[in-house]
Structure 1
Amino acid sequence: MTSLNLMKVLTAAALLWLGTFSSQPLQAQPALLQNAPGRSVLSLNGSWNYIIDPYENGFYDYRREAFDQSKSGKGGYYDNAKPSSKQEEELIEYDFDKSQAMQIPGDWNSQRPELLYYEGTIWYKKSFALAPKPGKRYFLYFGAINYEAHIYLNGKKLGMHKGGFTPIQYDITEQLSASGDNFVVVKADNTRRPEEVPTINTDWWNYGGITRDVFIAETPATYISDYKVQLAKGDANTVAGYVQLAGEGRANQAVTLNIGEAGLKQTVKTDGEGRATFSVPAKKLARWSPQSPRLYAVSLTSSSDVVQDRIGFRLIETRGQDILLNGRSLYMRGISIHDENPLIPGRARGEGDLRMLLTWAKELGCNYVRLAHYPHNETMLKLADEMGLLVWAEVPVYWTIAWENPATYQNAEQQLTDLISMGKNRASVVVWSVGNETPLGEPRLKFMSSLAKKARALDDTRLISAALELHRTPDNVVHVDDPLGEFLDLTSFNEYAGWYWGGKPGEITKYTFDIKYNKPVMVSEFGGDALAGYHGDANTRWSEEYQEALYVNQLKMLSTIPGLRGMTPWILADFRATRRQHPVYQNGFNRKGLISSTGQRKKAFYVLQEYYRQMAQKYDGK
């Protein structure tokens, strides 16, 4: 069967089956509190005691039955049990308070040498003082825990969460101790499994633990739980959106939207479910862009609650092969980024690490970053708003997923839902990506196209994309006709000519591209490894000169694509990857970074920097 006929068959199958997955019931997940870090919060960051538990003794009894599923619900480490007398007559084979501690947020791999490669369960415990106040509600919030997390407060289970990069939240108002003495216990398990998202095989380090901020947010009893304030789809002169109240008094309540700097104000009333929509003329509102990242102070006020945010307003759309930002043609000068500071072992720990990465991207000449291959920290999105960087945000539907497992799809859809919830008010976010380098096939097409449909249903004001598959023919033509492209706004793909195929860097300009879709083309990855400080000629693999020549010829080759409207080469900085085992050139790092693991700019950095200077001159006039 020809590739064209195969594409027609797969596309027809997807159209026939579209929606099959979405008919499956989603597991109940607590709705995320919008802009939770912007609330009055009690930080739980800092020192947490931990217990390494590879046999999961703290979760299962000797019959492999879960303690928290037993009639008493007792017996697990989450009890944080203490002997009832000085004689210690009870048999308790653990003690958090006498166990070692590590810093949270922070992965365990980088904090203890013996845990560098550890995959399994670690228990965490944190005591804190908080006496609940009348008329207030309290939400325990984790920025991320990798991967499966069971969370307990004062010995009672709050819930279980899967997904290593999305926020976790529970209303703990009724579980808090009246005395103010409380403890939270987390079972974190980073074991890779074939049915999870991502699946067993990835190309980044499997950092375990509580990797992002932990805090308790306080709200009134009736509170603003969610909102969206953005320009209406296709309308640069109207701010539209909604506000959602939660709590017993949520119905028939007045809520006022106020953007004082722009002279915009509107009061709406909630319906019986606490929801209200608004639409406000905004002809004089300044548009957000990388050249002018204008943010406005926005407030939403009800009779009992006030929330404040800083929001930018812009339109992003496509027309034929053009990407239009606020109606103007745009070239997206990008780079891919992992959530990792290469200079310090482990996951990025906070705003300083994140700001450094985005500052490097700005130095490179970028107006755009791809936050690969999973949801990044909410702080990263706010910094991109502030610094004027467009964002591609992605869920870890990566390589080969269990396409025919309904639970796997529901997991992926929930992670997508949480990502969009977290980022929907950020002007910087212009692309929702539903996956990366997933192989052709009918089950995959159904899975991925259903995710694309879900993303549009959740947010129709941004572009939908994914890193598509491609194939080559003996006539040196690279074909991009992945049927998933029918469901997307951008034709995005990864290609590694000059590294994984195509010969040496000087030979790759012989390739041409046959791209089926009349849509903007975004090259979501290209590149090759170079060990900083290792030098040779342009044909010496692993040398800076090889990577430099690869970039020179990649840019020549890609510039022949008529619809090319941007790229995010792989990658800004070297990052740790267990798969990368060459003892001389890799040593546990993917070396495709333009910046080394010691902060050194490689020669290819300056090649891309100059190209982006030229593109900025062409499209932005500077």
Structure 2
Amino acid sequence: MKNLIPVIALFILLSASIQAQNDFVSSREHIKITNWNFKKGNLYNAQKVEYNDTDWSLVKVPHTYSMDAIEENGYYRGPAWYRSSLEIPLSMTDKRIFIRFEAVGHEAKVYINGKSVGTHSGGYSAFCFDITEHIRTDDKNTIAVKVTNEHDFKRIPVTDKLFNIYGGIYRPVQVFATPKEHISPLYFGSSGVFAKPVKIGKDVTKLVIETHVKGESGKTAKLNCIIKDANESIISSKTTEITFSDKKEILKTPIEIQAPIFWNGKKNPHLYTAKIELKTETSSDKISQTFGIKTYKVDPESGFYLNGESYDLHGVAMHQEWKQFGPALKEKHHETDMSFIEEIGATTVRLSHYQHSETTYKLADEEGILIWSEIPFVHDYSGREFGNAKQQLTELILQNYNHPSIFIWGLWNEVRAWKSADEPCVQLTKELNELAHKLDQTRLTVSASDRSIKSNMNGISDLQAWNKYFGWYYGKYEDLGKWLDESHLAHPDIGLSISEYGAGGNIFQQDITKLDKPFGEFFPEQDQTLCHEVSWKIIKDRPFVWSSYLWNMFDFSAGDWNRGGIPFTNHKGLVTYDRSTKKDAFYFYKANWLDTPVLYIAERRHTKRKNELVNIKIYTNQDKVTLYVNDRKISKKKLTSDIHIITFENVKLKKGKNKIKVRSGKSITDEVEWQLN
């Protein structure tokens, strides 16, 4: 770490990218498979065509069979089967036919017409199989998938202590066809297209677009690559010729972009489009992808820089699950979640603790949100997960290599080598770090530690971040500042990031005198709010903190937890698990992170008051706020707080109902009703 960080501080990391979203499927003839017959259990011969599944349940994908994790302790961890009947149209005759799963939790064995076509282990990444030899066109075909979410010490995560391991086909499934000469979708489930920077400059940017292609030996083809800007104007084009052989073919197409417009975060998330066509005399395979160009660096003293300018990385971590659906989310749910992130004003998101939906990466590209993306190497280890951890990292990088929003690859979270630097998890981290740089020379690696500034696991990845819960599990909220200052003073060459901080908050608990953290039954919302007020003040005043991620954007399930008044739930989110309520802390950050008007009365759910005199706290980014109680003007105050809080002290309530209203200017208002008993 000592030798590495100064180099990173001086070297500008280059990153050019083409989205690995599902455009490479939707641009081809394809069929979405949504209707499936489903049954739990280790069923014998359920892959066979003649198997009778008439008594099975009819479900629609996305689907999970682990919804009991949200309501019960000890959710189902075991096998299940999905079966579907699919008719392949005659138009796919004499083509290559593929089936692609965006994710299956957590292991899948796929059968076509009773024959095995492949197995995939890992619950968060996509996988694709060539099923041409097993499928019949103009006829019904039986697709069967055996799924399990059982623990497996050879697969990460090896336990579910931090989040539930849901089972099921919980992301989309598609069958699609290509010509025999085609852009290959089999390279670890990726698009087969990668834009690799050679030189990035303001005057000219040089890229090499690597395209994985496959065709019959001796056949010839042309690869046409056209680059368009955001206005659909063609700015570059190139044609490469190929004669196929029996070997793996990778075409390298050099591209120059004159006076490039950089992908510049929320300031200007500019996306180019690459239109790629592999063309023979009789066939054509086309895919269209967007991409962006950026540079970045991390300085241990002054923080993060994007395209040569200081850029404040403040944001959230998030899981992908809703109380109503678990992880089986549709595109509209991912869009809703990203709209919350847009609304709060985050500039970065840590996608914890696994590869997220392709929709999420696509939206981050378009909205200019910088992404920390990671694999589920979390908390515990077995020493037997080396192969699967490397596989999942490979899939994460190659499937998402080209998203301009991704700036860093996460290798592990809270994995501890208690005894020595020779423990298997240390060696695995070294191998993962080496693999990440072999696959992607344009991005840094990072890991999230809950140990001290120095430990056996720390300092292996390019950057180190820390999960710090001062005031929740230990110490006081204010201790975060002391830890940061002492760590920076003692290790000025180490870049400091806070990868997690926060506190539980139950919106149904408003009596802060009953606080019973961190494992008790009472997690009042006001204490969560206090945690974030104190912590954000500490973080924002220290420019050497190159990024910060509050934990968590949304409440999420934890199957073995029973804390804070709502069982099986981690309550540290700023938004409730069902997405119905934004907690007070959400508006605190909104007032601090946005320029658009924010005016919000805090502690609004503390509706039953016992004291006649109350303090009324307002989160706002407006210069002046006027308070009214029961339609009577009480006071006007200027905003002087650097964390955007105005407090009206010792305001008198009357017995019974009280209408509290605040106004800024002529049109910005907020109001609540409290009861004084």
For the superposition of Structure 1 and Structure 2, which TM-score range results when normalised by the shorter chain? 0.7 to 0.9
Give yes or no for the alignment of 1:564 onto 2:545: yes
In structure 2, do the counterparts of structure 1 residues 578 and 502 end up closer, same or farther at CA, with 3 Å as the change threshold?
A: same
Task: Sort the Cα spacing of 1:114 and 1:483 in 2 relative to 1 into closer, same or farther, 3 A.
Answer: closer
Picking from 258, 265, 268, the partner of 2:237 is 265
SS of aligned partner of 1:514: helix
Given that 1:188 and 1:208 are in contact with CA atoms closer than 8 Å, whether structure 2 keeps it comes out as yes
Moved more, 314-323 or 492-501: 314-323
**Equivalences for residues 259-408 of structure 1 within 5 A:** 259-260=227-228, 261=233, 263-270=235-242, 273-289=248-264, 290-303=266-279, 304-321=284-301, 322-342=303-323, 344-403=324-383, 405=384, 408=385
Alpha-carbon contact 2:97-2:176 (below 8 Å) kept: yes
Question: Are the structure 2 counterparts of residues 253 and 214 from structure 1 closer, same or farther at C-alpha, using a change threshold of 3 Å?
Answer: same
Which of 147, 150, 159 matches 2:118?
Answer: 159
* CA distance in structure 2 between the aligned counterparts of 1:57 and 1:280, rounded to whole angstroms: 53
Q: Does the C-alpha gap of structure 1 residues 128 and 585 become closer, same or farther in structure 2, counting only changes over 3 Å? A: same
Structure 1 residues 90-131: Cα deviation after superposition (integer angstroms, max 9, x where no partner): xxxxx2133221221111123999999211111110001004
Counterpart position of 2:151 = 192
More divergent stretch after superposition (231-240 vs 101-110): 231-240
Give the unaligned 5+ runs of structure 2: 5-19, 185-191, 517-522, 596-620, 622-641, 643-677
**Inter-partner Cα distance in structure 1 for 2:100 and 2:166:** 20
Partner of 1:424: 401
1:494 maps onto 2:467 in alignment: yes
Is the alpha carbon distance of 1:238 and 1:487 closer, same or farther for their aligned partners in structure 2, counting shifts above 3 Å?
A: farther
Q: Give the counterpart of 2:438 among 433, 452, 457.
A: 457
Q: CA deviation at 1:385?
A: 1.1
Cα separation, partners in 2 of 1:306 and 1:573, compared to 1, 3 Å: same
Q: Aligned partners of 1:208, 1:401: CA distance in 2, in Å? A: 21
**What is residue 585 of structure 1 aligned with on the other side?**
565
What's 2:175 paired with?
216
Q: Which has the higher strand share?
A: 2
User: How far does the alpha carbon of each residue in 1:358-384 deviate from its partner, in whole angstroms, 9 at most, with x for none?
Assistant: 110111111111111010111211111
CA displacement 1:249-277 (0-9 Å, x = unmatched):
58864322211335111223458642122
Q: How does 1:594-609 map to 2 (within 5 A)?
A: 594-598=574-578, 599-609=580-590
Question: What is the aligned partner in structure 2 of residue 20 from structure 1?
Answer: none
Q: 8 Å contact 1:124–1:186 — kept in the other structure?
A: yes
The 1:609/1:178 distance shift into structure 2, 3 A limit, reads closer
The one-letter code sitting in structure 1 at the alignment partner of 2:430 is: S
What residue is the counterpart of 2:499 in the other structure? 524
* More helix, by proportion: 1
Query: In structure 1, how many angstroms separate the alpha carbons of the residues matched to 2:72 and 2:146?
Result: 19
- 1:52 equivalent to 2:40? Answer yes
Deviation at 1:285, TM superposition (A): 2.2
Structure with max Cα Rg: 2
Q: Percent identity?
A: 25
1:117 equivalent to 2:84? Answer: no
Structure 1 residues 268 and 369, CA, compared in 2 at 3 Å: closer, same or farther? Answer: same
Give CA deviations for 1:128-187 in whole Å, capped at 9, x if unaligned: 100463441111111111111111000000111110111121101111124421010011
Q: Which residue of 1 aligns with 2:195?
A: 229
- Show structure 1 runs of 5+ residues with no match: 1-6, 12-31, 59-75, 83-94, 472-479
Q: What residue number does 2:389 align with?
A: 412
- 1:256 is matched with 224
Instruction: Letter of the 2:365 partner, please give it.
Output: D
The equivalent residue for 2:649 is none
Q: In the alignment, is the contact (CA less than 8 A) between 1:222 and 1:250 conserved in 2? A: no
Shift of 1:33: 11
Change (3 A) 1:143 1:446: same
Instruction: Please tell me the residue identity of whatever aligns with 2:319.
Output: H
User: Which whole-Å CA distance do the structure 2 matches of 1:348 and 1:211 have between them?
Assistant: 4
Q: Is the 8 A contact 1:109 1:116 kept in 2?
A: no
Change (3 A) 1:250 1:392: farther
Deviation at 1:351, TM superposition (A): 1.2
Letter in 1 for 2:285: D
CA distance in 2, matches of 1:438, 1:560: 30
Q: From the superposition, tell whether residues 78 and 106 of structure 1 become closer, same or farther in structure 2 (CA, over 3 Å).
A: same
Please say if 1:241 is aligned against 2:185. Answer: no
Task: Please report the RMSD computed on the Cα atoms of aligned residues, expressed in angstroms.
Answer: 3.0
Distance change in 2, residues 1:381/1:250 (3 Å): farther
Name the SS for the 1:383 alignment partner: helix
- One-letter amino acid of the structure 2 residue matched with residue 356 of structure 1: T
Give the 3-state SS of the residue equivalent to 1:40 in structure 2.
coil
Q: TM-score, normalised on structure 1?
A: 0.81
**Superposed CA offset, 1:551-594 (max 9, x none):** 12222343565521211111001111112213x62321110001
1:534 equivalenced with 2:495 (yes/no)? no
The range that moved more, 174-183 or 524-533, is 174-183
Taking the TM superposition and a 5 Å limit, the aligned residue runs for 1:427-506 are 427-440=404-417, 441-442=421-422, 443-471=424-452, 480-482=453-455, 484-503=457-476, 505=477
2:59 alignment partner in structure 1: 102
- Separation of aligned partners in 2, 1:158 and 1:231: 36
Give CA deviations for 1:28-53 in whole Å, capped at 9, x if unaligned: xxxx9985433325334322111221
Using the alignment, how far apart are the partners of 2:242 and 2:467 within structure 1? 46
In the alignment, the residues of structure 2 paired with residue 176 and residue 114 of structure 1 have an alpha-carbon distance, to the nearest angstrom, of 41
Task: Confirm or deny: 8 A CA contact 2:154 2:388 kept in the other structure.
Answer: no
Q: CA distance change for structure 1 residues 372 and 386 in 2, over 3 Å: closer, same or farther?
A: same
* C-alpha displacement of 1:483: 5.2
Distance 1:539 1:110, change over 3 A: closer
Q: TM-score, normalised by structure 2?
A: 0.75
